């Protein structure tokens, strides 16, 4: 398949059920979300020629609801970073109505801002991850880039909910999301984190303040919420994320799938050489960081997990005062598409990491945080499992826009 946007194009996207709520919606997918028999290689030789045996749960649900699955876009290797990603282009070039992407550090939010579209990362544990070929199990969520918030809500209603085959989901207490009924007025208080905003440059600050003004005019109160531990989000994400990646990537061993190095003398050699060949340098650097924590300094990984617990606790108490937390979704100067080292990648996603670490849902709204003609995206983060509220809020904001 030789297409600049798509790695694989589905020649027969018409679904078996064509009258579901997602009827005629054209959806593209990241190639790390399993669709039976599609070349789902997650952008890596570790999964060269890999074709899943069955659909991911979310894919099954999309098909059941009548969506047209168009094919697989391109993605950064194993979902680490977005270099060579094309999901946002499929949206901005109107090839797709929506894209399913995996959000581990903020990819869906970042790419939606790039596309000038809507992005939504749901709460960790609200959408099944069965069939997600991932790298950082405790952070990654199947997320969406959409052309409207209504669409975003409909897709979420379709794909969310209990999956008895996914052990990482909430066992008890997962809300039935159902249809998003467009309740208004649920969000009144919005928080901003001064420690987060301190990192922005003048132009970014200005753009963000303009966006806040817009919200104030719609009756939202803005409140400053100090969060002294904020700088920890990045180091905790990187420590825990890389360690999980090192552990999870153990499955890429060239035995059941993936590229096998030729002519190796023994078992150990086969692993060493195959894994040398199959991983690109960026993801390999990340895996080595993880190997350092996994094998040489496990205490630090455990400590990072403690700090993660602390961050989650502090975030929870922050949400006692405010309904949502606002920030831009991306920096003006850090280009994730060009990020070539692990620290570049982390710098580019600095603003979106908190929701990934705490498993919180986050929406990215287009057209509000404008640095010149560059859309930085307005990130709206809510407490864990407040997905419905966030989606209602997103819809409410567009409706008022049209009224204005």
Q: Which of residues 280-319 bind other proteins (CB under 8 A)?
A: 281, 284-289, 291-297, 300, 302-310, 312-313
DSSP line for 300-316 = HHHHHHHHHHHHHHHHH
Scored b (16 or more CB within 10 A) or e, 75-110 reads bbbbbbbbbebbbbbbbbeebbbbbbbbbbbbbbbb
Question: Does position 232 bind other proteins by CB under 8 A?
Answer: yes
Question: Does position 128 bind other proteins by CB under 8 A?
Answer: no
Question: Does position 235 bind other proteins by CB under 8 A?
Answer: yes
Site for other proteins in 44-63 (CB under 8 A): 49-51, 53
Question: Does position 137 bind other proteins by CB under 8 A?
Answer: yes
- Rounded Cα distance, 191 and 290, in Å: 34
Which tokens sit at 60?
A: 């099954």
- CB-wise, 263 or 372, nearer to other proteins? 263
Question: Does position 203 bind other proteins by CB under 8 A?
Answer: no
Question: Closest distance between other proteins and the C-beta of residue 322, in Å?
Answer: 20
Question: Does position 227 bind other proteins by CB under 8 A?
Answer: no
- CB-wise, 21 or 250, nearer to other proteins? 250
Question: Does position 228 bind other proteins by CB under 8 A?
Answer: no
- CB-wise, 239 or 379, nearer to other proteins? 239
Question: Closest distance between other proteins and the C-beta of residue 333, in Å?
Answer: 20
- CB-wise, 39 or 367, nearer to other proteins? 39
Beta bridge partners of 369: none
User: If you ran DSSP here, which 8-state letter would residue 364 be given?
Assistant: E
- CB-wise, 191 or 359, nearer to other proteins? 359
- Rounded Cα distance, 142 and 121, in Å: 7
Question: Does position 213 bind other proteins by CB under 8 A?
Answer: no
Question: Does position 349 bind other proteins by CB under 8 A?
Answer: no
Considering only residues 158, 187, 384, 392, which one is a binding residue for other proteins as defined by CB under 8 A? Answer: 384
| Strand extents, DSSP E, 266-394 | 324-328, 362-365, 370-371, 374-375, 378-381
Number of residues that bind other proteins (CB under 8 A): 77
Considering only residues 167, 202, 373, 402, which one is a binding residue for other proteins as defined by CB under 8 A? Answer: 167
Question: Does position 195 bind other proteins by CB under 8 A?
Answer: no
String marking each residue 250-279 x if it binds other proteins according to CB under 8 A: ---xxxxxxxx---xxxxxxxxxx-xxx-x
- CB-wise, 26 or 234, nearer to other proteins? 234
Q: Is the separation of the CB atoms in 65 and 20 below 8 Å? A: yes
- CB-wise, 176 or 267, nearer to other proteins? 267
Contact region with other proteins (CB under 8 A), list: 7-15, 162-170, 217-225, 361-369: 162-170
Beta-carbon neighbour count of residue 29 at 10 Å?
A: 32
Q: For residue 22, give the H/E element and its range.
A: none
| Strand extents, DSSP E, 134-185 | 141-146
Question: Closest distance between other proteins and the C-beta of residue 289, in Å?
Answer: 4
Contact region with other proteins (CB under 8 A), list: 60-68, 70-78, 229-237, 394-402: 229-237
Question: Does position 8 bind other proteins by CB under 8 A?
Answer: no
Question: Closest distance between other proteins and the C-beta of residue 254, in Å?
Answer: 6
Q: Is 402 exposed, middle or buried (0-12, 13-18, 19+ CB in 10 A)?
A: exposed
Question: How many residues are recorded in the chain?
Answer: 404
Beta bridge partners of 192: 224, 326
- Rounded Cα distance, 29 and 8, in Å: 10
103 backbone dihedrals φ, ψ, rounded to 5°? -110, 110
- CB-wise, 117 or 169, nearer to other proteins? 169
- Rounded Cα distance, 105 and 124, in Å: 12
- Rounded Cα distance, 299 and 270, in Å: 30
- CB-wise, 222 or 261, nearer to other proteins? 261
């Amino acid at each position: 398949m030789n297409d600049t946007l798509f790695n694989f194009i589905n020649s027969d996207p018409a679904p078996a059920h064509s009258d579901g709520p997602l009827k005629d919606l054209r959806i593209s997918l990241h190639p790390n979300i399993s669709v039976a028999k599609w070349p789902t290689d997650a952008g890596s030789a570790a999964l060269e020629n890999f074709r899943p045996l069955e659909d991911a749960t979310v894919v099954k649900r999309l098909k059941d609801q009548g969506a047209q699955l168009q094919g697989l876009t391109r993605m950064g290797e194993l979902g680490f970073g977005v270099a060579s990603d094309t999901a946002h282009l499929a949206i901005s070039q109107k090839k797709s109505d929506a894209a399913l992407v995996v959000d581990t550090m903020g990819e869906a939010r970042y790419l939606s801002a790039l596309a000038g579209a809507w992005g939504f990362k749901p709460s960790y544990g609200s959408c099944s991850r069965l069939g997600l070929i991932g790298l950082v199990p405790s952070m990654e969520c199947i997320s969406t880039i959409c052309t409207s918030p209504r669409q975003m809500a409909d897709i979420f209603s379709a794909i969310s909910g209990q999956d008895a085959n996914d052990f990482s989901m909430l066992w008890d207490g997962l809300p039935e999301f159902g249809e998003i009924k467009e309740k208004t007025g649920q969000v009144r208080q919005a928080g901003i984190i001064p420690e987060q905003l301190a990192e922005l440059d003048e132009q970014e600050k200005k753009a963000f303040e303009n966006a806040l003004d817009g919200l104030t005019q719609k009756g939202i109160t803005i409140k400053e919420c100090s969060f002294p531990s904020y700088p920890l989000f990045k180091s905790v994400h990187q420590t825990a994320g890389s360690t999980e990646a090192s552990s999870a990537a153990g499955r890429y061993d060239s035995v059941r799938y993936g590229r096998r190095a030729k002519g190796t003398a023994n078992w150990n050699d086969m692993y060493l050489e195959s894994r040398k060949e199959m991983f690109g340098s960026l993801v390999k650097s990340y895996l080595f960081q993880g190997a350092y924590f996994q094998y040489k300094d496990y205490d630090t990984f455990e400590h990072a997990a403690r700090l993660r617990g602390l961050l989650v606790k502090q975030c929870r108490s922050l949400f006692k005062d405010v309904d949502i937390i606002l920030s831009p979704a991306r920096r003006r100067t850090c280009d994730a598409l060009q990020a070539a080292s692990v620290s570049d990648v982390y710098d580019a996603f600095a603003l979106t990491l908190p929701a990934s670490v705490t498993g919180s849902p986050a929406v990215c709204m287009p057209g509000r945080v404008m640095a010149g003609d560059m859309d930085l995206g307005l990130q709206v983060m809510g407490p864990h499992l407040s997905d419905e509220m966030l989606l209602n809020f997103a819809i409410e904001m567009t409706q008022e826009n049209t009224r204005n």
